[in-house]
Structure 1
Amino acid sequence: MADPTVIVIGNEKGGAGKSTLAIHIATALLHAGKRVAIIDLDLRQRSMARFFANRIVWCEANGQTLPNPVEPDMGDGKALAKATEAEQLARFEAAFAEAKDTADVILIDTPGGDTLLSRTAHGLADQIVTPMNDSFVDFDLLGTVDPVTLELQKPSIYSESVWEARKQRAITQGRHAQIDWIVVTNRLAVAAARNRQRLDERLEKLAKRVGFRMGPGLRDRVIYRELFPFGLTVADLSNDIRPVAVSLAHVAARQELRSLMQSLGLDAAVDAPLDAAA
């Protein structure tokens, strides 16, 4: 069996929407028939792991069947968060080895912040997907701008972390082992803004300098938050599965997810019949 594709959702800033992106990518892959293994390295919060636990409970309670990923056991997250780095790394390496034997895609959600586990995961990635909010606050982790002119000055801490991950991968797997880095602007406001234009211009310059490409993110839609406690995403909605009232906005959200998956070069299935109210 060929080695699985390793996708790391990474950004050292909290609140950028990493877990939201992770669960949507995972469910779209599952509906495409991919065997997906998930590893949640946000040991205290574990939003992605909790989402899929909720999914199992909701399906059992409602007599529905939906595809689920495999989650290798790393033990109690809160306890592991207090363990030594050596123990954390050993647990992660064991989970990753198990995932390699069972999955087509390994999806790793990382915490906001710089940790040994996050750095290790980045070094294993075939693809790094970095969500950022539509803000210079989030851009600051990728690049530094002049406070007067807003011109790009240099790459910042997270860009340097990805560079280190690329170097580590080249050392362990050869210089031809490339990491595909995609930055997606998440939680976009519906209306265009002058700030966004300024931000996009700096992102384009930084992309050429440090080697990432831009992809479409997910807008700030209520449906993404509404479905989370059920363990569902817009990829799961159908004429049989609709725990909330479905509207044309939900159809648009599925198109948004489809565009995201296409930009990542990933197979996705988000086309279950969905009759929306006008």
Structure 2
Amino acid sequence: MASERNRIITIANQKGGVGKTTTAINLATALAAIGERVLIVDLDPQGNASTGLGIQRRDRKLSSYDLLVGSHTVEEAAIDTAVPNLSIIPSTLDLLGLEMEISQQPDRVYRLKKALDQTGGLAYSYILVDCPPSFNLLTMNAMAAAHSVLVPLQCEFFALEGLSQLLETINQVRRGVNPSLDIQGIVLTMFDARNNLAQQVVNDVRTHLGEKVYRTLIPRNVRVSEAPSYGKPAILYDLKCAGSQAYLQLASEVIQRERQRKAA
């Protein structure tokens, strides 16, 4: 198993457009800003996390594909970003063909776990895995490797329906692949305080899942939406905007939960 100091958190939701990659980038940046050493593994073939951290496609000499096929190590594939203490293993379109390449291999769901098991000497405090917006072999690899899953959930009408499907998926992975997988927490994204429906969704999710739901609400925020086009996390693009401040609060909650877990 990867060293306990390498806390592996998979950020997943089979629904697209919920702020998954935005959460991965900005949570990682906030953790790095307070001195944690952080690695993002971009497992989405679209590579939005890589682009959002300013990693040009021409600079992605090695990627998470190379990690999963076993040709290179984490140390070889990781790239430093403009954020101190934050590295990323970028994504390329090669990932689209991975499922066909390894689907017959007996260890096909454990490829990422095997790669991350070798990171003990690299001393990352947190490894965040950004998943594609679907449940496929890439997401299975992420969940098989992780200690816990963080679920971004958009404050919209169908949120609870999609969440119940995802929680069942996590239970299936726990039963068949990774018995120690836990739910790190549910983070409510794209919250609009002017929208009564958004507040109702917040209330419903908190009623159903209680303490699993983070107190921090990530608001809809233009500056957060603009930041990826500049190849920057929102926290670097505009630290004072409401979205950046919310992700800093979320990072504090994540660390607080980790301390409580270790003390338990």
Q: TM > 0.5 between the two?
A: yes
| Structure 1 equivalent of residue 46 of structure 2 | 45
Q: Pick one of 97, 100, 103 that aligns with 1:85.
A: 103
Change (3 A) 1:121 1:86: farther
Q: Paired residue for 1:227? A: 227
Say how many residue pairs are matched. 229
2:251 aligns with 261
What residue ranges of structure 2 are gaps of 5+ in the alignment? 59-80, 258-264
Counterpart of 2:18 in structure 1 is: 16
Assess if the C-alpha contact under 8 Å between 1:30 and 1:36 holds in 2: yes
Distance 2:84 2:175 in 1: 36
Displacement after TM superposition at 1:130 (Å): 0.9
Q: Alignment partner of 1:204: what SS?
A: helix
1:34 aligns to what SS in structure 2?
coil
The one-letter code sitting in structure 1 at the alignment partner of 2:87 is V
- 1:239-278 aligned within 5 A: 250-265=240-255
Which residues of structure 1 form unaligned runs of 5+?
58-63, 143-155, 172-176, 238-245, 268-278
> Which of the residues 127, 147, 154 maps onto 1:126?
147
1:40-82 per-residue CA deviation (whole Å, 9 max, x = no partner) reads: 111x21111222344899xxxxxx9642633347773344365
Q: Choose 1 or 2 for highest CA Rg.
A: 1
| Change in CA separation of 1:217 and 1:111 when aligned onto 2, cut-off 3 Å | farther
One-letter amino acid matched to 1:253: G
Matches within 5 A, 1:1-278: 2-42=4-44, 44-54=45-55, 66-67=83-84, 69-72=86-89, 76-80=94-98, 83-85=101-103, 89=109, 92-102=112-122, 103-142=124-163, 156-167=164-175, 171=179, 177=180, 179-193=182-196, 195-207=197-209, 212-237=212-237, 250-265=240-255
Bigger shift: residues 2-11 or 46-55:
46-55
Contact residue 181 and residue 213 of structure 1 kept, 8 A: no
Give the corresponding residue for 1:152.
none
Alpha-carbon distance, 1:105 to partner:
1.1
Report the more deviating stretch, 48-57 or 252-261: 48-57
Structure 1 contact 234–254 (Cα < 8 Å) conserved: yes
Residues 40 and 127 of structure 2 are in contact (CA less than 8 Å); yes or no, is this contact kept in structure 1? yes
Describe the superposition over 1:148-182 as per-residue Cα deviations: whole angstroms up to 9, x where unpaired.
Answer: xxxxxxxx3211012234445764xxxxx562431
TM-score (normalised: structure 2):
0.72
Preserved CA contact (<8 Å) 1:100 1:106: no
Contact 2:149–2:183 under 8 Å retained in 1? yes
Relative distance call for 1:6 and 1:227 in structure 2 (3 A) is: same
State TM-score, norm by structure 1.
0.69
1:227 is matched by which residue type in structure 2? A
Higher mean Cα deviation, 111-120 or 84-93? 84-93
The letter of the residue matching 1:113 is S
Identity %: 22
Paired position in structure 1 for 2:67: none
Q: CA deviation at 1:10?
A: 0.8
Query: What is the CA–CA distance in structure 2 between the aligned matches of 1:37 and 1:226, rounded to whole Å?
Result: 23
Q: What is the deviation of 1:198?
A: 3.1
Rounded to whole Å, the distance in 1 between the matches of 2:200 and 2:91 is: 42
How far apart in 1 are the matches of 2:82 and 2:42? Answer: 23
Matched residue type, 2:5: D
What is the CA RMSD across the aligned residues, in angstroms? 3.3
Q: Which amino acid aligns with 1:80?
A: L
- Contact between 2:50 and 2:90, CA under 8 Å: does it hold in 1? no
Distance (Å, rounded) in 2 between the aligned partners of 1:165 and 1:199: 27
Give the distance between the partners of 1:94 and 1:73, measured in 2 at CA.
18
Whole-angstrom distance in 2 between the partners of 1:191 and 1:99: 45
Q: Supply the AA of the counterpart residue of 2:112.
A: F
- Going by fraction, where is helix more abundant, 1 or 2? 2
